Structure 1
Amino acid sequence: MIDTDRAAGARHALVAELRDRGKILSGAVERAFRRVPRERFMPGDTEFAMAYGYDNSVVIKRDGQGRALSSVSAAYIQAVMLEMAQLRPGMTVLEIGSGGLNAAYIAEVVGPEGRVVSIDIDPEVIDRAAVALDATGYSSRVHVLVADAQHGVPDEGPFDAIIVTVGAWDIAPVWLTQLRPEGMLVVPLVMNNVTRVIAFRRDGDHLASTATEVAGFVAMQGDGARADDLVELPDPTGGTVRLSFDSGAPSDLGQLSGVLAAGATESWSQVAIANGVSFADLHLWFAWFLGGFCRLSADDGTDVAASKRWLPFATVRGAGLAYLILRDAPGGAEFGARAYGRDGQLAADALNEQVQAWHRSGRHTTPTFAYRPNGRDASPIPADAAVMSKTHGVLTITWPTSS
């Protein structure tokens, strides 16, 4: 039995925190968060503190290896994405990646005159969402169905907004076909293994970002899925270190054979970060500008896992591997590199050089993004924009000069 008074109190407390942190900006989104019973869309054993935590995501389904396949997103990113979408009463909205809760929020914002279509590739996820929406009184306002988002939603649309709640490596052409010319696309876009939620609006023949937010999402399934190139390196302890390349993996990764055997060296960038200050944009900078960039993971007991204050961002240079580390500095921490292999110093230098470049040119500015579908004129791309090729188009980032 749910304590309705406690639930109402938890909703109001969550709204107050989201307001204070600048994630809820509008009265419409605030009302949605006050009205929708968040706990009713969670597994029955979910604790109240977890259901109503500011940045807690709750996994709904895992695969046989324990990887999350479906989850309820953290409250802060749900609020941000609703604000990004600039929803209004009467709109027709497509949600890609279902669960029920976010669709209920959307239904509250667009009102009885609006229409919400929520799709997922997994019938089990859709069935669960349908049950929760029915139990909370939203089933008449949200149409849920099984579909592979890569192919759109036949017989639906056009949509005033499309909100994607799974990590997408690219923008499916059909999304733009089904989006109204003035519509908003809000999508967690994966860029070389680093994700940003980006709100896009059409600007002539391309999409231009209007807002961005840091968040992570479960990966898209179906025909829009993208598999990383995975390299496994044996550690002398018997464990394994894994390198995951989104794209642009070095051609001769065989040079890394035995790279972990000779021990590590460390070098430092002379760039520090204060305690409590986010450096998420450094990861994004690496994804765009650090050649040989990859995500790194390590089994417990390996030399990597035993090292202090390491982060899962690495680069490969020839027969060298280096990953990002931190050490204490006055009031915070200094960035550095821990390196292995014959070319380890080259890899460490490359990583530290990009830390320094981010510090000079990107640290105190906010980048903007643009997306040009294939077949569009690329000549208007600004000279200071970096370019990343996707399957269906070209993504660019422009990092304004730091003042």
Structure 2
Amino acid sequence: MPRPVSRCVSAGHGMSDNALAEALNEALIAGLKERGDLNDPRLEDAFRSVRRHLFLPGAPLDVAYRDEAVPIKTDVDGSLISSLSQPSMIAAMLGQLELEPGQNVLEIGAGTGYSAALMQHVVGPTGAVTSIEIDNHIIKLAEENLQRLGLGYKVRIVQGDGAAGYSPRASYDRIIATASVWDILPAWVNQLKPDGILVAPIWLDALQFSAAFRCIEGGALFSSDNIPCGFVRLRGPMAGPRLSKRVGATSLVIVSNHVAGMDAAALEMLMLNDAEENYLGLPLAISDYWNGLMPFLMLNLPDDARFALYHLLGDKPAFGLDNPGFALFVPGSGCFVPYNGRGFAIGFGSSDAVLALQELVQRWAASGRPTAARLRLYLTPPGQTSRVPAGARVFERPYHQLAVWLEQEGAQA
């Protein structure tokens, strides 16, 4: 998810690099605290002590300390393989972990080593952080960064498929994945202590949520702390299905749980129809979409409707669309909602998709505009009866049945 961006302070001429880095880091920390992304004093101390720019050699200081993700490696087709995540997202996910001194932590995906260094600072000399990474190039980068800071002997980076976890240093108090997953892998559950916490960005339809899972009865997992996010997919054979499809030779890319059944040629033909701008009925901001409306849509779709995200490769316009957003499709009709559109949508084909979306927006508003804070995730292994509320949406995954719902206001989490 694109999170609000905090801009760094401008520095005076003649300020040394160290002084500038300190000033930029303090401004970043202040912004994270102000928005509620950094609430744990131990994490705040870690962000202050572990300088982000040291994990981005050669990057300008103002880039290193923006609240933005920084690409690290791309595939041959230009798709992102690895990045240093947005600081607010890192702070939020490490907050979900509830780290404490002395804990044993496993990280799935090393990246630059920055998150591992932050976690090592919190767990301290009596704790341990292991990071497993499938890509040798990224391992080398992370190891060099950690060694430069004198942390090479404290944080252990191992090569391997993160789907298997790392049993030699199990069991773990905390496990965190820094790539999006289709399901929670059995190895992770087996290597987690019974009272541990497992944080992972998991796919729900076209959306991802960083979920903080805890083990409950019968091998089930439950999360009541779920944060909208957007991460690159887990690499390797357990990555799950591809959820994106390019529309013809255009720059438009659709991301959907139903993408395998979408006819790209038919969609391209639909979008060659004249576009019509429509108002959804509320002046909505990007935070309203990600934290409220889109989770509600995902859980309350009509049977014939399909929910999707969309983006534009190289930011090149297509079919009159020039900004990313989300979409709703029904037979013979599509409705595209740019995040920056303040409640306006662009319809193609018949008006059915626009009317369906307007009705869903009205239902969301009438329900009190529930947010992702009320989202609940319940994973049960095969053969176990799920005890979930009526109306929950259920996703079948390779190792679990995933039930998702919005908790009623005031209900017990």
Q: TM-score, normalised by structure 1?
A: 0.87
Distance 1:224 1:279, change over 3 A: same
Does structure 1 retain, via aligned residues, the 8 Å contact 2:279–2:344?
A: yes
Residue 161 of structure 1 and its aligned partner are, at CA, apart by 0.3
SS at match of 1:222: coil
Residue 27 of structure 1 and its aligned partner are, at CA, apart by 1.9
Distance 1:114 1:211, change over 3 A: same
Cα distance in 1 between the residues matched to 2:161 and 2:286: 40
Q: How does 1:305-344 map to 2 (within 5 A)?
A: 305=321, 311-325=324-338, 333-336=342-345, 338-341=346-349, 344=350
2:400 to 390, 393, 403: 393
Distance 1:184 1:232, change over 3 A: closer
Cα distance in 1 between the residues matched to 2:163 and 2:71: 23
Does structure 2 retain, via aligned residues, the 8 Å contact 1:252–1:318?
A: no
Residue 311 of structure 1 and its aligned partner are, at CA, apart by 4.5
- Letter of the structure 2 residue corresponding to residue 108 of structure 1: H
Cα distance in 2 between the residues matched to 1:326 and 1:82: 27
1:303 paired with 2:319, answer: yes
Residue 398 of structure 1 and its aligned partner are, at CA, apart by 2.3
Cα distance in 2 between the residues matched to 1:78 and 1:244: 24
SS at match of 1:223: coil
Distance 1:346 1:70, change over 3 A: same
1:11 to 25, 49, 70: 25
Residue 375 of structure 1 and its aligned partner are, at CA, apart by 1.9
1:92 paired with 2:92, answer: no
Residue 26 of structure 1 and its aligned partner are, at CA, apart by 2.0
Report which of the two has the higher share of strand: 1
Name 1:369's counterpart in structure 2: 376
SS at match of 1:218: coil
Deviation readout 1:55-76 (Å, 9 max, x if unpaired): 2111111111222211111111
Mean alpha-carbon deviation: is it higher for 35-44 or for 358-367? 358-367
Name 1:24's counterpart in structure 2: 38
Does structure 2 retain, via aligned residues, the 8 Å contact 1:298–1:304?
A: no
Does structure 2 retain, via aligned residues, the 8 Å contact 1:93–1:117?
A: yes
Does structure 2 retain, via aligned residues, the 8 Å contact 1:193–1:295?
A: yes
1:294 paired with 2:304, answer: no
Deviation readout 1:331-362 (Å, 9 max, x if unpaired): xx3344x2223xx3222222222222222226
Name 2:117's counterpart in structure 1: 104
1:159 paired with 2:172, answer: yes
Residue 97 of structure 1 and its aligned partner are, at CA, apart by 1.1
Residue 144 of structure 1 and its aligned partner are, at CA, apart by 0.2
Cα distance in 2 between the residues matched to 1:223 and 1:29: 34
Does structure 2 retain, via aligned residues, the 8 Å contact 1:198–1:212?
A: yes
For structure 2, the 5+ residue unaligned runs are 1-15
1:380 to 376, 387, 408: 387
Does structure 2 retain, via aligned residues, the 8 Å contact 1:296–1:314?
A: yes
SS at match of 1:33: helix
Cα distance in 2 between the residues matched to 1:178 and 1:257: 46
* Aligned length in residues: 386
Mean alpha-carbon deviation: is it higher for 313-322 or for 25-34? 313-322
Residue 92 of structure 1 and its aligned partner are, at CA, apart by 0.4
1:204 paired with 2:217, answer: yes
Cα distance in 1 between the residues matched to 2:318 and 2:271: 10
Distance 1:252 1:144, change over 3 A: closer
Does structure 1 retain, via aligned residues, the 8 Å contact 2:178–2:201?
A: yes
Name 2:64's counterpart in structure 1: 51
Q: How does 1:67-216 map to 2 (within 5 A)?
A: 67-98=79-110, 99-205=112-218, 206-216=220-230
SS at match of 2:181: coil
Identity of aligned residues (%): 30
Cα distance in 1 between the residues matched to 2:352 and 2:260: 17
Distance 1:144 1:353, change over 3 A: same
- Letter of the structure 1 residue corresponding to residue 289 of structure 2: F
SS at match of 1:109: helix
Residue 277 of structure 1 and its aligned partner are, at CA, apart by 5.3
- Letter of the structure 1 residue corresponding to residue 26 of structure 2: H
2:55 to 17, 36, 41: 41
For structure 1, the 5+ residue unaligned runs are none
Name 2:356's counterpart in structure 1: 350
SS at match of 1:357: helix
Does structure 1 retain, via aligned residues, the 8 Å contact 2:226–2:376?
A: no
Deviation readout 1:307-333 (Å, 9 max, x if unpaired): xxx6531222223222225898xxxx3
Mean alpha-carbon deviation: is it higher for 106-115 or for 382-391? 382-391
Residue 215 of structure 1 and its aligned partner are, at CA, apart by 2.5
Does structure 2 retain, via aligned residues, the 8 Å contact 1:256–1:318?
A: no
Residue 8 of structure 1 and its aligned partner are, at CA, apart by 2.8
Cα distance in 2 between the residues matched to 1:90 and 1:259: 58
Distance 1:243 1:81, change over 3 A: closer
Q: TM-score, normalised by structure 2?
A: 0.85
Cα distance in 2 between the residues matched to 1:153 and 1:267: 51
Does structure 2 retain, via aligned residues, the 8 Å contact 1:270–1:334?
A: yes
Q: Give the alignment's Cα RMSD to 1 decimal.
A: 2.6
SS at match of 2:116: helix
Residue 400 of structure 1 and its aligned partner are, at CA, apart by 3.3
Name 2:281's counterpart in structure 1: 270
Cα distance in 2 between the residues matched to 1:75 and 1:252: 38
